[in-house]
Structure formats: structure tokens, C-alpha cells
Amino acid sequence: MADLRKIDLHMHSKVSDGTDSPEELIENVRKAGLSVFAVTDHDTLGSISLIRAALQDGDPRYICGVEFSCKDEQGRYHILGYGFDPDSKAIHDIVQAGHEYRIRKFLARIELLEQKHSITFPSDEIESLIALGNPGRLHMANLMIKYDYVRTRGEAFDRYLNHLHVEGLYFPPEDTIRHIIAAGGVPVMAHPVYGSGGEKVFGDELEQRVIRLKDAGLAGLEAFYSSYTPELRDMVLDLAEKYDLFATAGSDYHGAHKKVALGDTGPMPDDASTLIKWEKSLDQFLEKVL
């Protein structure tokens, strides 16, 4: 049976906005004592071949993954895809579109920083970040620290980046879910309680999101997550049980960019029977994606 304490299905490498190279990430996964892991870089499949090439006999089991930022009239969502065929046209189509949106959003936010706050950066810094392939808000926060606009990433997000809204550059979550399924993958809503930019979603609003996205093919909820309290965890577990969805576990590790440890998927249930129940559910999920 799966051990929830040794599973981490949400982490990022330098291929998107983490600080570990894929090879370093594998070494850190080994050190963390994980048995199963997934790398879910934003809007890119670039880490998959690198991770597979670096795996050795006896390493933890690896699940290919990806994370997409989505939006509709109800709000923002992060959708994780697991166990898909990385050569599928369906996954490549949405990854390419997500990548193009990411670059356009990045440049639009750079422009908004200048227009609204007179914050500017040298053009070669911007070009270097674009050359990385998947620049995001964490990269922008680092630049703001480097050029003395803020002291910390938290300040960059709280004062500026969480308030730079770029409209019309997101996929609806339903479309993302259908592309993941078409590629043979399993779609899961990441940290359902958290939308984006500090947004929190509870109660009826959260339940209606789950209902709507399950109708589109959503198969799971990230119920064990690094920043959850026991109350938030149980809220998501109740929804997973009510709507017959998988409950997955992820830290959202980004290396030095966030104070989150690999394998930190939040508090585990105190009751042994509850823990066993969700470990059995996780076993069923792993059967589909491994």
C-alpha cells in the first residue's frame, strides 16, 4: 500500500520556476526518502526526458506531470496532468499554447510594472529570462530584489505581482482537462482551496467548482498539500469522497524559491483508519498513472 508520507506529486525544476536542475531534483528526491514522485513544471514537458535519462535502478518511481494555469468567469485554477503520453499531440498542443500565453503574460506584467509603478529592468535581463523558456512571477520577484525595488519575494508579490492582472491569456480549466484526458492522462485540481495570487476558495463556491470540473472529466483533488491546515485538508478530502475523486499529495516544492521541503504534503490524519482509506485511494490513482 502507498505510504502518503513518502509520496510527492507536485514539484518544480529549473525547467520552469524551480531552482533545482532535473538532475539535482532527483538527487534531492533520493535524499528525501520518497518512494513515488512527479515533476509538474509549468506549461512545459521539458523536464520529462531529462528526468528519465537521470533515473537509476532503485530510484523512486517517477510519474510524468505538468501544471497549467487556467481561468474562467468563476476564477482561477491550477490543473495538474499525470501519466499522459508525452508524445501525444493533445498534450503538446496545450503545452505550446500555455507556453505562448506564459511569455505574453510575462511581457505584459513587465509592461504593467513600468506603467503603474515605474519599475524597469535592463533589456538584457528580460531577454535572459525569456531565453529560460518559462519565465514567471518568481523570476520577476527575483529581479525586483536584485534591483532593490523590494527586499523579499513576499513583498514583491504582496505589493506588486499579485495585483498585475492580465486578461484573456488563460485556458478554461475544462479545455485543459479534456486535453490531458485525450493524451491518456489523469487531470487533478492542484491545491483547490487556493486559486491564484492569494485567493482562497471555500464552501459552496469550492464545491460548485468541483462539480463543474468533474463534469468535464476532473479525476482528482490535491487533498494533501504543504500549506494546508488539518481543517483545509479535511475540507478537500470530504469533497473527494463525496464526488468519488482521487486524493493526491504534493508539496509544491520550488527549491530555494519557496520555503517548502520535498515530501512536505501537510498534516496527515491522526486516525489510522482514515489514513489507510486515503492510502488505498492513492493506490488506485497510482495504478492509473504508473
Q: Is the pLDDT of residue 167 over 80?
A: no
Instruction: For strands 75-82 and 186-189, give the pairing.
Output: antiparallel
**Cβ-contact 218, 185 below 8 angstroms:** no
Percentage of residues in the chain with pLDDT exceeding 70? Answer: 98
* Residue 191 included in any domain: yes
Lowest mean pLDDT among 105-119, 145-159, 183-197, 238-252: 183-197
* Residue 107 included in any domain: no
Counting the structural domains of the chain, the total is 1
Q: Say if pTM beats, i.e. exceeds, 0.75.
A: yes
Q: What is 226-282 written as a DSSP string?
A: TT--HHHHHHHHHHHHHTT-EEEEE--B-GGGSS--TT---PPPSSHHHHHHHHHHH
Lowest mean pLDDT among 34-48, 59-73, 94-108: 94-108
* Residue 39 included in any domain: yes
Q: Is the pLDDT of residue 33 over 90?
A: yes
Number of Cβ within 10 Å of residue 203's Cβ equals 8
**Domain holding 53: CATH number?**
3.20.20.140
* pLDDT recorded at residue 138: 86
Question: Alpha helices of the chain — where are they, by DSSP H?
Answer: 22-32, 46-54, 89-117, 123-132, 137-146, 153-159, 173-182, 203-215, 230-242, 272-289
Q: How far is CA 149 from CA 122, 138, 145, 164, 258, in A?
A: 14, 14, 6, 16, 19
* pLDDT recorded at residue 198: 66
Mean pLDDT across 242-270 = 95
**Greatest alpha-carbon span in the chain:** 57
The backbone torsions φ and ψ at residue 156, rounded to the nearest 5 degrees and listed phi first, read -60, -40
* Residue 224 included in any domain: yes
Mean of pLDDT over the chain: 94
- pLDDT, one tens digit per residue, over 93-126 is 999 998 888 889 899 999 999 999 999 999 999 9
Return the DSSP state at 190: S
Q: Please give the residue range of the domain that contains residue 267.
A: 4-97+168-289
* Residue 113 included in any domain: no
**Kindly report the CA angle at 257 between 267 and 146, in degrees rounded to 5?**
150
Residue 198 exposed, middle or buried by CB count within 10 Å (0-12, 13-18, 19+): exposed
* Residue 89 included in any domain: yes
